[in-house]
Structure 1
Amino acid sequence: MRYGPPGRRTAPAAAPRTTGYWRRLLPALALLVLVTRIPSLRHPLWSPDEGYLAVQARILADGGALYETVVDRKPPLLPWLYETAFTLFGDESLYAMKALAVLAHLLTAVLLAAVARDRWGDRAGRIAGVLHPLLATGLNPEDTQAATFEVFILPFTAAAMWCAGRGRAGAAGLAVAGALLTKQTGGAVLVPVLWLLRHSAARGARSGAGAAGRAGLPRLAAGLVLPVLGAALLTDPAGFLFWTVTGSAAYATFTGSELHVLFRGLANTALLCLACAGLPTSLVRARRGTADLWVWLAASAVAVVAGFHFFGHYFLQLVPPLVLLATAALRPLHPERVASALLTTGCVCVLFLAWGLLAPRPELVHAQRLADSVRALTAPADRILVWGIHPETYWLADRTPASRYLTAGLLTNYSGGRDGPGVGEKYGVAGAWPVFTAELRARPPALIVDDSRGKPFAPDRLPTLRALLARHYEPLPATVDGAVFYVRSPGSARQETDALYGRPPGG
């Protein structure tokens, strides 16, 4: 049985009115998605998140273990996907992941088209399918063109709503689990899924199918819980729980650079509103039969706010419900008005694409220059430490990190511009500094790159790191854009050997 929006039951699924509906729509959507992803090919990578994932994938492919030899605050699904892509296609570029990001957007567009078609017919399906790739470009290209977490959340969330709308509770649970295992905030789609299934169960009770409706929640729970438990068991259960749930309290706070963070949130909201320039007057009319979509939008907005960082890529989670709400408002309008709205949205999309193709990327250039210097100063087998927030330097330089902590943020709580009293050794992830110093003692890095460049996590503000540099390293005279290179001091290895065997210095 096929279900429409809450409170209204549609007729049973019927044969499509046009036999070639998907045969005609799919190529058009594929072409549109490809065009909107062209800027992603301009640079080797777009954001530190891509760099972090690339470094993680290399470590995992070399036998590392997630949440043990390399750590992050994210669930394991996307690191595993990167690892698989690197294993199959090589780890020297991210083109395989860029292709998978295209596929993720295409799948999202198709699923949204299917949801809209189920509810409102063929024309609505086409509108929704076209709107998704257009609106999904409506942020800073660093946020929309990178193959990162939010991009891969989108098809799971759309699939969860499509399955829930058709009463397929178990499949909806699996889709929610996929979103949750990609990023924690992906689990927000569970709220509208529960809303839909509740209304489906209520309709089933009125029609005499109450038993089937009551079976929905257990199937949903099984579909959701079993994959999450499986992921925990495939990694380290304690590490999985710590890094994805309990270990991020300091990160998910509003203290530190409040004005900076609020400005970022307002700026990204304005960008997304600009992307919807052809739609706001229509969106307010999308009320009847769209309660679940408004619930979806509200739950996604809560997910954007969670953590109080307001990064642009967080806002991508708003796009699927916005697409369906816009479709609900546009579908009863005259075709000329619909065409005008889509044309306006398309023109704004072109502006964002031009931004992605033409704007410089100074931080990427800096990371590439650092990587060039690292390669010149070290051998391929050397381990290095990049003390900064650009883990892509490891990947660009093709050097192994000396620590499981790939950024200074995990050790100091510096992230997204947060500074002031909330940054320092005591604000890092619980238990991280003893592990970090033990790693550096066991396998001292051949090179340390201080890429803090005056930020609050500079070594002179961190007693442990400052003492380590003073005792065992000396700076090189040359710098790169303010980044300082430290190499092992001549007497450092002798001092460590003496300490290991209990000999007095110089003995």
Structure 2
Amino acid sequence: MLAAPLAPPRSVAVTAAKGAYWKRLLPLLAVLACATRVPSFARPLWSPDEGYLAVQARILAQGGRLYETVVDRKPPLVPWLYEGAFALFGSDSLTPVRVLAVLAQLLTAVLLASLARRRWGDGAGRTAGVLYLLVSVGLNPEDAQAAGFEVFMLPCTAAAMWCADRRRWAAAGAAVAGAFLVKQTGGAVLLPVLWLCGRSRPGLLRLATGAAVPVLCAALATDPAGFLFWTVTGSAAYASFTGSELHVLVRGLTNTAILAVACAGLLPPVVRVLRIARTGAADLWLWLAASAGAVLLGFHFFGHYYLQLIPPVALLATAALQILPRDRGTTALLTSSCCCAVFLSWGLLAPRPELAHAQRLAAAVAHRTDPTDRVLFWGMHPETYWLADRTPASRYLTAGLLTNYSGGRDGPQVGEKYAVAGTWPAFRTELADRPPSLIIDDSRGRPYAPSRLPTLRRLLAAGYEEVGTVDGAVLYGRVAVSPVPFVVP
């Protein structure tokens, strides 16, 4: 009589079960991540942020230095990511970074699924991953589908929580640093991570070390003084609530309402559980609160800011559904699927008039200039440089940094005196040393028009004449080949 085969050790069985679980779930999440990002490939460009990053990447590839020859208020990771993608696949298309955005969303969903599975079981893991991806498109397509800062920040914030949940403090700190180096508000995830760390001195030390080292390395890899100024100390005017209060408030309420519609399947379970029981997820509530604070910071309320709220909302909804009857989970998934379909249709069908304007303007500029010419687009659409394939005449790619119009501010605090400190002297020097062949006034009646800016008005009068218009944008060509007689004060 043959002896019964020995059962495999428990650790082997657990490992096999985990492997089988992810073999089933990963393909589902991958297909869903690809499906929800289909609209992002439907247009050459979705937002000025994508355009800004594309122009930065081209300048960096030509030997430029971040915070010196090209500047932005953002940390360096995403510009470097664009630069790397362009180096490998060319800079004529954003398709490579769009693929990276799909992978970023997939990684975020996987990390959330792993967090939920560890806390509430296999079903919760599937629910969290699927709900996150369904809701991730629930904003204006310009905000949800662009390969912008927030999309690449979310995997870092999810990784920080995943590592903290497993008491891997050095790795959690590095993930917090990664989120901050994508966008400053990503550092908000440090609050729930600290909550999970508690008062463990060794844990706090490892967490602090893990967070500090990547930030210091990034500062040293760029210009440390410039890094500090452009990412931390130089944005006081941008973060002010003064000016355009009603305009900004309406934008905030509108984007809040849009995201609430996208979360129609998630919010009812959370609200119901709040009334009848506690979810036991204090760190997730703190994560949501910290993310909401990050959305409020700066008082601009752009739609893409709200992406930071979606991971903790998805996990809180998953926690709530573990308490409620099973049919509530089915309802949440069906409702979220329907809302997702609506937002995907919006992304595929909605017209993008500003993109069409930028494309016409870029075509006109490319026709009037040579590939080696430097041009200056005076407006808020840096993507036009990329579309026209022309080199910017200034390190400042939009009029916002020079007028405080950044953030859609259209009130009285727009003008030269509200610019980022030190920008106008540098701007005057750039244009005096290497005058642009063509200046394009794309203000179209907005508060940063040259007629309201003495320095730019004098520059145009000194050596430029109107040579054409495109959709309200005015093109100014140089009067003579000799240097423009423009004196730096």
TM band (smaller chain): over 0.9
Matched, 1:319 2:307: no
Paired letter, 2:156:
F
- Whole-angstrom distance in 2 between the partners of 1:385 and 1:434: 16
Q: Which residue of structure 2 aligns with residue 191 of structure 1?
A: 191
- Look up the equivalent residue of 1:215 and give its one-letter code: P
Q: Retained in 2: the 8 A contact 1:123–1:331?
A: no
Query: Which amino acid counterpart does residue 172 of structure 2 have in structure 1?
Result: A
**Equivalent residues in 2 for 1:267-306 (5 A)?**
267-284=254-271, 285=273, 287-306=278-297
Match of 1:402 in 2: 393
2:123 paired residue number = 123
The equivalent of 1:208 in structure 2 is: none
1:447 corresponds to which letter in structure 2? L
| 1:420 Cα deviation after fit | 2.5
CA distance in 2, matches of 1:20, 1:332: 26
CA 494–319 in structure 1, closer or farther in 2 if over 3 Å, else same:
closer
Measure the CA separation in 2 of the matches of 1:182 and 1:353: 26
Aligned partner (choices 475, 482, 505) of residue 472 of structure 2: 482
Alignment of 1:329-478 (within 5 A): 329-476=320-467, 478=468
TM-superposed deviation, 1:256: 1.3
Q: Which runs of 5+ in 2 are unaligned?
A: 1-12
Question: What is the distance in 1 between the residues matched to 2:95 and 2:422?
Answer: 36
Separation in structure 1 between the aligned mates of residue 116 and residue 411 of structure 2, nearest angstrom? 47
Distance 1:288 1:112 in 2: 17
CA displacement at 1:415 relative to structure 2: 2.2
Q: Partners in 1 of 2:244 and 2:22 — Cα distance?
A: 49
- Tell me, yes or no, if structure 1 residue 91 matches structure 2 residue 91: yes
Deviation of the 1:493 alpha carbon:
1.6
1:158, distance to aligned residue in structure 2 (A): 0.4
Q: How far off its partner does 1:336 sit? A: 3.0
Is 2:159 the partner of 1:159?
yes
Give the equivalent residue in structure 2 for 1:171.
171
| Aligned residue in 1 for 2:10 | none
- Give the Cα separation in 2 of the matches to 1:372 and 1:72: 26
Q: Helix, strand or coil for the counterpart of 1:474?
A: strand
Q: Letter of the aligned partner of 1:483 in structure 2? A: A
**Secondary structure in 1 aligned to 2:477?**
strand
Displacement of 1:140: 0.3
* Identity, % of aligned positions: 70
Q: TM-score, normalised by structure 1?
A: 0.91
Deviations 1:333-382 (A, max 9, x none): 33333112101111011000000000000000000000000000000000
* Residue 356 to residue 494, structure 1, CA distance change in 2 (3 Å): closer
Aligned length: 472
| SS of match in other structure, 2:294 | helix
Partner amino acid, structure 2, of 1:175: A
Question: Which position in structure 1 is the counterpart of 2:208?
Answer: 221
Give, in whole Å, the separation in 2 of the partners of 1:400 and 1:191. 42
* Aligned residue identity for 1:155: P
1:102 aligns with 2:102: yes
Q: Are 1:453 and 1:482, in contact at CA under 8 Å, matched by a contact in 2?
A: yes
Q: Which stretch of structure 1 is more off in the superposition, 335-344 or 85-94?
A: 335-344
Helix, strand or coil: the match of 2:301? coil
> What is the rounded CA distance, in whole Å, between the counterparts of 2:407 and 2:257 in structure 1?
19
CA distance in 1, matches of 2:326, 2:141: 31
**Match for 1:264 among 237, 241, 251?**
251
Asked whether the 8 Å contact 2:143–2:304 carries over to 1, the reply is yes
Q: Secondary structure at the match of 1:475?
A: strand
Equivalent residue letter for 1:493: S
2:341 alignment partner AA:
V
| 1-structure distance, mates of 2:286, 2:16 | 29
Which of structure 1's runs of 4+ aligned residues deviate more than 2 A? 13-19, 331-337, 494-497
Measured against aligned partners, the alpha-carbon deviations of 1:74-103 in whole angstroms (never above 9, x if no partner) come to 000000000000001100000000000000
Amino acid at match of 1:441: A
CA contact (8 A) 2:462 2:484 kept: no
Give the superposition deviation at 1:294: 0.4
Instruction: Please identify, of 442-451 and 285-294, the stretch whose mean Cα deviation from structure 2 is larger.
Output: 285-294
Query: Hey, what does 2:40 align to over in structure 1?
Result: 40
